[in-house]
């Protein structure tokens, strides 16, 4: 159901999640950018990370964001001394200035062809989706990602094709079923798909590209600076808990249990001789030998972004990529022994304070609603009564209704009570489905009525309104056989 309070009609500009959506495109919200402009000069690594996180939310609007922010990201490396110098100050000011320009990403026009510019380095791959508008190539979206240790050893041709595979995967919703151009600074891509005997990896990638309709156009490096920045200027982050494919392979070779797994049908080796296990629905999972169980558990429980999650979430996160026989038991024992989690995590007990009593001061200060029924069906098809009581005057009214659905209750409340007596300040009800519905809450919100409800199984909290149904039933019983 649409909530009117969250809707804006008859406007060509909308604020949404820190962005301004206009008829021309999407740009950052100036009020949010003001927080970046006014950000004080960082004095610690923690403040540098906070600024990069704040500015990074709008990185899709800033070309060469990673390149500009590189002097700042250097300060966040482990064991790197915090030294704020001219280079860092220049990067800090330049980032704020770039965001102050409010760069615009245009909307995709599906009647016009798309252009994919992709590039790769030994550190990352990047791509830009763009279209020609008003005679100028304008960006629609940016994307980039880092390479793992195995991918960084690919040949330049394989890297360029990997960048294209990554680009079409990220922009599939724009490109699938449409003809588009691919710009690259590597000539080999133009004839790569026509090779008679390509390697197995190139064959698999080429097959993935067969479902797309595109032409490859070579552009010299001097005309690909915008996409080069996405692939060549990304900081590769490393840490004590990083697991490379080489480490896993070496540990598997020294593990006796992994050697036994190799003869089983559910296990196989990839082209790099790393052992995998066939998980649910055939999903390949890396087999973790015993000596790497500890580092894996640290990665998924102790790093800052994992936030010391519980047992179930940690197991689910690990099972997306890794497998070993005693995974459940090891995770349970590890988390139960985690001192940091024991100090910070508390139980789910909620101590509710005693609430203040509600005392009405005037008519329509506090009103109550309740539903009585089902009762014998009348000639008009009604079998419920919507009871209304004013807490100050004790004035009451009973309105017959055919059902107790939220739409009926909300309509009768507005048409039979509010239009006749006025808008109350507070509405007290029980926790019935009709009163707790989003429609009823939205009705009160629009009319600026404070919505209150009893606690569960505590009817005496609304004793005045709860007494009325008993009186009504007693009265009606004398007229119904």
| DSSP secondary structure, 406-469, as one string | HHHHHHHIIIIIIHHH---SEEEE-S-HHHHSHHHHHHHHHTTPEEEEPPTT-GGGGHHHHHHH
Angle, helices 225-232 vs 65-75, to 10°: value is 30
Beta-strand pair 396-401/426-429: unpaired
Q: Is the CB of residue 188 less than 8 Å from the CB of residue 202?
A: no
pLDDT tens digits for range 225-267: 455 545 544 333 333 445 677 888 888 888 888 888 888 888 8
Structure-model confidence comparison of residues 437 and 134, the more confident one: 437
Superfamily name with CATH number, domain 108-232: Ribonuclease H-like superfamily/Ribonuclease H (3.30.420.10)
- Would the pTM count as exceeding 0.85? no
Fold of 366-477: Nucleotidyltransferase; domain 5 (3.30.420)
The CATH architecture that domain 245-343 belongs to is: Orthogonal Bundle (1.10)
- Identical fold, 4-101 and 366-477: no
The pLDDT of residue 429 is above 60: yes
Averaged pLDDT of the chain? 76
pLDDT tens digits for range 181-199: 888 776 666 656 555 555 5
Domain ranges for the chain, please list them. Answer: 4-101, 108-232, 245-343, 366-477
Average pLDDT over residues 17-35: 70
Average pLDDT over residues 276-304: 81
CATH of 4-101, one of 3.30.70.270, 3.40.50.1470, 3.30.470.30, 3.10.420.10: 3.30.70.270
Q: How many CB atoms are closer than 10 A to CB 238?
A: 10
pLDDT tens digits for range 297-328: 888 887 655 667 788 888 988 888 888 989 99
pLDDT tens digits for range 153-187: 888 778 888 888 888 888 888 888 888 888 877 66
């Amino acid at each position: 159901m649409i909530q009117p309070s969250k809707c804006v009609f008859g406007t060509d500009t909308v604020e949404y999640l820190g962005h301004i959506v206009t008829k021309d495109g999407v740009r950052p919200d100036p009020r949010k950018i003001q927080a970046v402009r006014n950000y004080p000069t960082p004095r610690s690594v923690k403040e540098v990370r906070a600024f990069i996180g704040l500015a990074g939310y709008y990185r899709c609007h800033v070309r060469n964001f990673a390149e500009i922010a590189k002097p700042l990201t250097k300060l966040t490396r482990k064991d790197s001394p915090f030294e704020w110098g001219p280079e860092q100050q220049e990067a800090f000011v330049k980032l704020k200035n770039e965001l102050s320009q409010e760069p615009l990403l245009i909307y995709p026009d599906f009647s016009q062809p798309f252009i994919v510019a992709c590039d790769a380095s030994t550190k990352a791959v990047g791509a830009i989706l763009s279209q020609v508008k008003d005679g100028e190539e304008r960006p629609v979206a940016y994307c980039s990602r880092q390479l793992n240790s195995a991918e960084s050893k690919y040949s330049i041709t394989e890297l360029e094709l990997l960048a294209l595979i990554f680009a079409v995967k990220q922009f599939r919703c724009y490109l699938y079923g449409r003809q588009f151009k691919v710009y690259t600074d590597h000539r080999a891509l133009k004839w790569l798909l026509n090779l008679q005997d390509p390697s197995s990896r190139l064959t698999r990638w080429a097959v993935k590209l067969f479902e797309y309709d595109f032409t490859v156009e070579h552009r010299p490096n001097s005309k690909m600076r915008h996409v080069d920045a996405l692939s060549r200027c990304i900081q590769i982050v490393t840490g004590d808990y990083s697991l490379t494919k080489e480490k896993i392979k070496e540990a598997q070779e020294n593990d006796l249990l992994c050697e036994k797994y190799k003869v089983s049908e559910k296990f196989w080796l990839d082209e790099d001789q790393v052992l995998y296990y066939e998980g649910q629905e055939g999903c390949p999972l890396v087999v973790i030998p015993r000596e790497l169980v500890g580092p894996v558990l640290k990665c998924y429980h102790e790093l800052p972004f994992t936030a010391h999650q519980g047992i179930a979430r940690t197991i689910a996160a690990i099972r997306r990529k890794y497998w070993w026989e005693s995974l459940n038991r090891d995770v349970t024992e590890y988390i139960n022994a985690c001192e940091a989690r024991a100090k910070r995590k508390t139980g789910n007990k909620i101590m509710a304070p005693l609430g203040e009593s509600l005392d009405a001061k005037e008519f329509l200060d506090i009103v109550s609603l309740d539903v009585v029924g089902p009762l014998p069906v009348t000639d008009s098809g009604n079998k419920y009564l919507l009871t209304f009581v004013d807490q100050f005057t004790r004035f009451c009214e009973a309105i017959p209704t055919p059902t107790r659905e939220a739409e009926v209750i909300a309509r009768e409340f507005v048409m039979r009570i509010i239009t006749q007596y006025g808008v109350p300040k507070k509405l007290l009800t029980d926790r019935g489905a009709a009163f707790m519905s989003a429609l009823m809450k939205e009705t009160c919100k629009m009319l600026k009525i404070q919505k209150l409800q009893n606690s569960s199984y505590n009817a005496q909290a609304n004793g005045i309104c709860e007494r009325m149904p008993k009186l009504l039933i007693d009265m009606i019983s004398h007229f119904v056989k």
